[in-house]
Structure 1
């Protein structure tokens, strides 16, 4: 694994905008960054990233099966008891899911370490699945990369397969928060895939979803919403007015409510508890007292947080790094510190995607901080031996 500096395509910004990738630059700083790429060997991809992703995913599915049958374990995840039955039913009835992302610390030499699971509303999907693949193809065509360069990336193909297997007959609605360019870009990408496999799709802003007197979710024209992909976390929905109506509604939700088990960091202590010593896991426990200083060699994270918010880490050398944020109303975990590798002046995080229960590809983010945030850059990758 190494970082290789390279020439940008002279027209990459125009290409991005023509494809609807409108958040390639955020606050005048590059989000998509092709001034360098990360190069892996095939062995690193297959043995150190793909295989652990598949194994960890199966461990996660086994753990969901265990958790849904235990009110004690559901309670340890701070899931409101009013939603236990809904979550249990969604799992037992096999409500289908589409995707998830694991965040890894990996330096190309030591074993991959799982930092977090993002299994409900993971973003960076379009840039991982489509735009970095386009970068690879176009860079090879223009002689910027060797012809035999490849990429660990079947995300788009597997998403097409996953949507085709749904065989939906009624319209599929895709919802994101009003005004969020990034979230709209993600849902538009998924909509396009749905359309390509013959599913009628519609966009709706989350704020415009209505609820009839008899408990049916509808759009602005009072049309029933039979299937809804919502880029909105279950932990938020559980505390919103419409949340209580979901269990009795006739809308099929994506991702399904059982994903709430995997979408909060309270699952990480359980993964460790039931798979103690696994080489790809970090020792993790619920933090008994968040008023105490974070011990050296540990990281404090809230059960529910986004993009690095409210995370504090304390390195073995005594460096303390923390990010403020709004996620202070739930328990926290303490996780063994696994430092992100440093390349040049940046720290690198690997997001490994699971589509249809299979490892499907990676995306690489980097930041000048040990905590990856929403402003962290996305760089493409390739396989080259």
Structure 2
């Protein structure tokens, strides 16, 4: 695993704007960063990343049914009791899922370790599935990379195949929070793939979804024309949806959700201690436990995470040598877990003349590994502002 500095393509910003990648820069700082790339060999990809991703995914999926039947585990995960039956039905009806991303720490040598699962609303889709692939093609065409350079990246094709097979209600709606440029970009990308797969796609801002009572007395989600929404991809966390004013309508409405309600169990940091309980000392897991009222203060070599948290928010960690690092955020009013600290690998960023820490995201579409994305930050906590860098496979 190498970090290699490289010259930026001359026209990439104009091209990004042209193809709708409007969030390539945040507040004047780069989100997409092609001043360097990461290089892997095929063994690292196939044995250290792809195979463990599919194994971890299967381990996780094998737990879902047990969690839906366990009051103890549902309580530990802080799932509202009024949604227990809804989640159980979602799982037992076999409601299909589309995609997810697991975040891994990997230095190119030892086994990759699971940091967390993003199995409900993961972003970075467009930049993974499309933009970094175009970067690879351009750099090969420009002679910067050899012709046999490759990328672990079947994300676009596998999502396309999934949409063709899901048998979704038509029309099928896609939704995100109105003011989020990044979320809208992700949803636009998914809509484009779905349309190519033959889905009749419609967009509606989450704030514009309405609720009416139909002729049978049941509540139903509707669009701005009061047309029933029978199928909905929502880039909005389940744990937020169940707290909204329309929450009661969720269980009554006859709307197929992507991601389905049972994904609520897997977008929750509590799945990490549950995995550790079932698979102790697994080579791809880190020790993890639920925090209790009697838990000691956070010790060296441990990380504290809220059950529900995004992009590193409200994470506290103490390194092995006692350095304390924290990230602010809005998720400070619930339960927490403790996870053993595993330092992200450190590389030298020659462009910025600074050290940087690297985290890998490994994608799953359906039940198959579908590629990786890479994020960098000067901090050991990867955040929403952390840079995205492309990668290659080269023997």
Secondary structure of 1:152's aligned partner: coil
Secondary structure of 1:216's aligned partner: strand
Report deviation, 1:289: 3.8
Question: Is the CA contact (8 Å cut-off) linking 1:152 and 1:360 kept in structure 2?
Answer: yes
Q: Are 1:192 and 2:192 counterparts?
A: yes
Deviation digits for residues 205-241 of structure 1 (CA, Å, limit 9, x no counterpart): 1000000023110111111111100001011111111
Deviation digits for residues 112-166 of structure 1 (CA, Å, limit 9, x no counterpart): 0000000000011111111101110111111121111000000001000100001
Q: Are 1:366 and 2:370 counterparts?
A: no
Deviates more, 1:216-225 or 1:283-292: 283-292
Q: What residue is the counterpart of 1:113 in the other structure? A: 113
Deviates more, 1:325-334 or 1:271-280: 325-334
Report deviation, 1:36: 0.3
Q: Structure 2 residue aligned with 1:263, among 260, 267, 275?
A: 267
Q: Structure 2 residue aligned with 1:323, among 322, 327, 330?
A: 327
Q: What residue is the counterpart of 2:387 in the other structure? A: 377
Alignment of 1:1-385 (within 5 A): 1-214=1-214, 215-289=219-293, 292-344=296-348, 345-385=355-395
Deviates more, 1:30-39 or 1:61-70: 61-70
Report deviation, 1:70: 1.2
Deviation digits for residues 246-293 of structure 1 (CA, Å, limit 9, x no counterpart): 111111111000000000101110000000110000000011249853
What is the rounded CA distance, in whole Å, between the counterparts of 2:373 and 2:250 in structure 1? 33
Report deviation, 1:169: 4.9
Report deviation, 1:71: 1.6
TM-score scaled by structure 2?
0.96
Which residues of structure 2 form unaligned runs of 5+? Answer: 349-354
Question: Is the CA contact (8 Å cut-off) linking 1:290 and 1:332 kept in structure 2?
Answer: no
What is the rounded CA distance, in whole Å, between the counterparts of 1:301 and 1:173 in structure 2? 33
Question: Is the CA contact (8 Å cut-off) linking 1:101 and 1:117 kept in structure 2?
Answer: yes
Q: What residue is the counterpart of 2:352 in the other structure? A: none
Secondary structure of 2:213's aligned partner: coil
CA RMSD, 1 decimal: 1.0
Secondary structure of 2:332's aligned partner: coil
Deviation digits for residues 297-349 of structure 1 (CA, Å, limit 9, x no counterpart): 00000001111111010011111100111112211000000100001110000
Distance 1:77 1:136, change over 3 A: same
What is the rounded CA distance, in whole Å, between the counterparts of 2:28 and 2:114 in structure 1? 32
Report deviation, 1:60: 0.5
Distance 1:335 1:304, change over 3 A: same
Secondary structure of 1:130's aligned partner: helix
Secondary structure of 2:361's aligned partner: strand
Which residues of structure 1 form unaligned runs of 5+? Answer: none
What is the rounded CA distance, in whole Å, between the counterparts of 1:233 and 1:287 in structure 2? 23
What is the rounded CA distance, in whole Å, between the counterparts of 2:173 and 2:377 in structure 1? 34
Secondary structure of 1:147's aligned partner: coil
Deviates more, 1:167-176 or 1:206-215: 167-176
Question: Is the CA contact (8 Å cut-off) linking 2:176 and 2:235 kept in structure 1?
Answer: yes
Deviates more, 1:125-134 or 1:374-383: 125-134
Secondary structure of 2:9's aligned partner: coil
Would you say how many aligned residue pairs link Structure 1 and Structure 2? 385
Secondary structure of 1:351's aligned partner: strand
Q: Which runs of 4+ in 1 moved over 3 A?
A: 289-292
Question: Is the CA contact (8 Å cut-off) linking 1:5 and 1:36 kept in structure 2?
Answer: yes
What is the rounded CA distance, in whole Å, between the counterparts of 1:194 and 1:111 in structure 2? 35
Question: Is the CA contact (8 Å cut-off) linking 2:169 and 2:230 kept in structure 1?
Answer: no
